[in-house]
A = this chain, B = another copy of it.
Amino acid sequence: MEALVRIEQALDMAVAYAEAPGAPPQLAQAMRYSVFPGGARIRPRLCLAVAHACGDDAPDLSNAAAAAIELFHCASLVHDDLPCFDDAELRRGRPSVHRAFGEPLAVLAGDALIVLAFETLARAGACAPQRLAGLTLTLARSVGMPSGIIAGQAWESEPRVSVSDYQRAKTGSLFVAATAAGALAAGADPAPWRALGDRLGEAYQVADDIGDAVAAEEDNGKPVGRDIALGRPSAVVQLGLAGAMERLRDLVKGAVASIPDCQGSDELKALVMSESTRLVPKQLSDRVAA
């Protein structure tokens, strides 16, 4: 089955548990609204691609891991959009969750999505108990303290922050977890896969900085130049547009080179190259693959 179909089905099954009879209806709606329709599902696709390259001998578990990663990502978007953080009106081109459902339900939707992610993993992990603890710990560390995406968001409240620590936690950690979890779900050693996640996470961050700086609002669904307006660290500010594009190319090459030898490594290398062109606005994408 195609990866994106597996991901959407796994997410739908997960959210359906939260919508069971007896659920408070508005929170159930807010959770589905937070997850569907999705963005590029880039993290869960990375997870499944690594699982596939490692043999994917427990597809229910890799589906659950991929879904959990996307649920964490969706939860972080809902909470990052709250009035006390970005106060974002729009997300993926329509009202953010707190604008659509109110702030209380946005807080609770984020909370419930975090819980649902762990629950989804445990449900699939009951059939592969030897892999569950490792998967849960890998994902928990990529999300929580001291260095997951929540820690990354917390650095925005600190007077001093190292840009690389901030970005590694805020964006990189979930990419690293996606590759490590893909390997773990397939019973493989996660260690050699972390470099791929690390480089792709940084590539994604640089591409996002490029997109933020140059794309038109209708192209990426959020106000242009927001990171720069908010004084956030940006590769474009640091390196200029041409420098940022060169950095992105180097990161993608490094990511491809880091892929360990395994049965599906050639396929995965081709996938990373083709996907990386989609990270930046269309008018720039030919410059990434060059």
The chain A residues found within 8 Å of chain B, CB to CB, are 17-28, 31, 75, 79, 82, 84-85, 102-105, 107-108, 110-112, 114-116, 118-119, 121-123, 125-126, 129-130, 132-134, 136-137, 140-141, 143-148, 150-151, 153-158, 161, 165
Contacts and interface: CB of A to CB of B under 8 A. Distances in A.
B144 A115 contact: yes
Contact of A103 (B84, B130, B134, B147): B84
A252 to B, nearest CB: 27
A105 B146 contact: no
A117 to B, nearest CB: 9
A116 B122 CA distance: 16
Contact of A157 (B102, B112, B114, B153): B102
A105 B151 contact: no
Given A114-B114, A118-B140, A133-B129, A108 B24 contact: no
B123 A107 contact: no
A140 to B, nearest CB: 4
Nearest to A152: B24
**A-B pairs with lowest CB-CB distance, top 7:** A23-B146, A115-B144, A119-B140, A18-B145, A27-B154, A122-B136, A126-B133
Nearest to A127: B133
Given A133-B129, A146-B23, A108 B154 contact: yes
Contacts of A141: 119
A144 B156 contact: no
Given A104-B157, A125-B133, A136-B118, A112 B24 contact: no
A132 to B, nearest CB: 6
Contacts of A112: 144-145, 150-151, 154
A158 B24 CA distance: 7
Contacts of A150: 27, 108, 111-112, 115
Given A118-B118, A150-B108, A158 B22 contact: no
A20 to B, nearest CB: 4
A79 B111 contact: yes
A156 B26 CA distance: 11
A127 B181 CA distance: 20
Nearest to A18: B145
Nearest to A129: B129
